[in-house]
Amino acid sequence: MELFDGELERFVLSTGDLLVVEGNGSADQLGRAAMWRGQIKECVHQNHLIRVRPSSALDPSFLQYLWNSPVVTTQLRQVASSTSGLHTLSTAKLKRVEIPLPPLAEQRRIVEALEDHLSRLDAANHYVVRVHQSTASFDNARRRELLDPWLSSARKLKTLLASPLINGRSVPTDDDGFPVLRLTAIKNRVLDLSARKGGAWRKEDATPFLVERGDFMVSRGNGSLRLVGRGALAVDDPDPVAFPDTMIRVRPNPHVIDPEFLAFVWDSRTVRRQIEAAARTTAGIYKVNQSILEALNIPVPPLDVQARIVEAARDHFAEVKRLTGATGMAQERSEHLRRSLLAEAFTGKLVPQDLADEPAVELLKRIEAERHNQPKTTRARKSTAAKG
């Protein structure tokens, strides 16, 4: 018994069609869908989307909410194919997805209740986003306040180094081998020395790439321009660990520039604008290299001023961390509430059931019977139109 009219084909869009993401690098985002609301009179979709056209036994809005709920997303992760880190779906796999099918009238009651609850949740999320944006503005304003008086004292990064920039080395994984950092070690300004794996090399081979306290590690590439060239500082004396080819080591000369000051100035608008303007893109990946980094103009006040700025920055980061922690908790709670709401909606707990509603199975039988009883010429015309 078909729940969808015709094939899950890639063709002209009609109001109520569901557009499903065919592939994604993240399994959690795989198969996310949105309903086409007829914003443009005539439109087709690109080949990275799959069109799902619900039959008249399915309310399109009900299907959209259901599709983005754990009821369906869990199944999509189970049936998806995975190659080289890309998770993909096909029309054949989508047809294997099983969905609950309450009466059409109940579907519409569920949609009405969800839209009521989710509108209030979205309003709260909007407030959280504004707080997050205000935190970012506060961060940028404080950096400008501390650094702008010293912009005229800028020097090329190349002149601030204790040793030349160096790229890491790529090594295959070996759980019993000498440890090497993962790219995820660059996070939140402080190098996470626990984000590591074993590499298929000896300590002697890794020695030129060992991380030392005060080293500033920079990401060489990212799919997001906003994230390329981000860095993190080794603030403690690490146990022996090397860095990979996805990083560039910046080893500042402490007699010229305080490593903590460099970490602070690195995320300023002054430096970020230079990095983003110079970054090169290949196959959708933004990249920086040693030459780009060496040419960066870094504001360099006297060391005693740098020390005062670092102290002020510590207080600033503590406040930013408090604000971002609060907004992060609010966003997690919001997402938890959304999942709980969808779970209740599709397990019959959100709206009352009505025995007077026509069962969906009976509606499907009636639709199929009406389709079967259509004159052959009418069915042929519809078939021709669908193929056209």
Taking only the tens place, the pLDDT of each residue in 88-104 is 888 888 888 888 889 99
Domain of residue 362, residue span: 358-388
Decide if 59 contacts 113 (C-beta within 8 A).
Answer: no
Structure tokens at 198: 């074993």
**172 and 287 fall within a common domain:** yes
Domain shared by 273 and 386, yes or no: no
Report the pLDDT averaged over residues 332-341: 89
Last residue within a domain, chosen from 281, 301, 321: 301
Q: How far is CA 278 from CA 12, 66, 77, 102, 271, in A?
A: 41, 44, 38, 56, 11
In the predicted model, is pLDDT for residue 2 greater than 60?
no
What confidence category does residue 159 fall into, taking pLDDT thresholds of 50, 70 and 90? very high
**Number of domains, the chain:** 3
Is 218 part of a structural domain of the chain?
A: yes
Question: What angle separates helix 60-67 from helix 104-147, to the nearest 10 degrees?
Answer: 50
Q: Examine residue 223 and state whether it is found in any structural domain, yes or no.
A: yes
CA angle 261, 266, 272 (to 5 degrees): 155
Note whether 296 and 364 are same-domain residues: no
| Token pair for 85 | 């880190």
Axis crossing angle, helix 60-67 with helix 70-79, rounded to the nearest 10 = 60
Indicate if 214 and 92 belong to the same structural domain.
no
Q: Are residues 93 and 164 in the same domain?
A: no
Q: Which residue is associated with the tokens 């999509």?
A: 76
Do 290 and 166 belong to one domain?
yes
Cβ count within 10 A of residue 275: 20
Round to whole Å and give the CA distance between 239 and 385. 69
Look at the block and give the residue holding tokens 């780009």.
Answer: 292
Mean pLDDT across the chain: 87
Q: What is the pLDDT of residues 233-259, one digit of tens each?
A: 999 999 999 999 999 999 999 999 999
Domain boundary among 101, 121, 144: 101
Q: 82 and 160 in one domain?
A: no
Residues 97 and 157 in one domain: no
Classify residue 318: in a domain, yes or no.
Answer: no
In a domain, 56, yes or no: yes
Q: Which of these three, 301, 334, 350, is where a domain ends?
A: 301
> Looking at the domain assignment, is residue 314 inside a domain?
no
- Is 329 within the bounds of a domain? no
Q: What is the DSSP letter of 201?
A: S
In a domain, 312, yes or no: no
Give the CATH number of the domain where residue 272 resides. Answer: 3.90.220.20
For 5-43, the pLDDT digits (tens) are 544 444 678 888 888 888 776 767 777 888 888 766 677
**Structure tokens, 309:** 């700025």
* Residue 382 shares a structural domain with residue 293: no
332-357 average pLDDT score: 88
Q: Is residue 247 part of a domain?
A: yes
Say whether pTM exceeds 0.85.
no
Mean pLDDT of 340-364: 86
Assess whether pLDDT exceeds 70 at residue 382.
Answer: no
Lowest-pLDDT range of 188-197, 215-224, 314-323, 347-356: 314-323
Query: Residues 172, 270: one domain?
Result: yes
Whether residue 209 is found in the same domain as residue 289: yes
Q: 191 and 261 share a domain?
A: yes
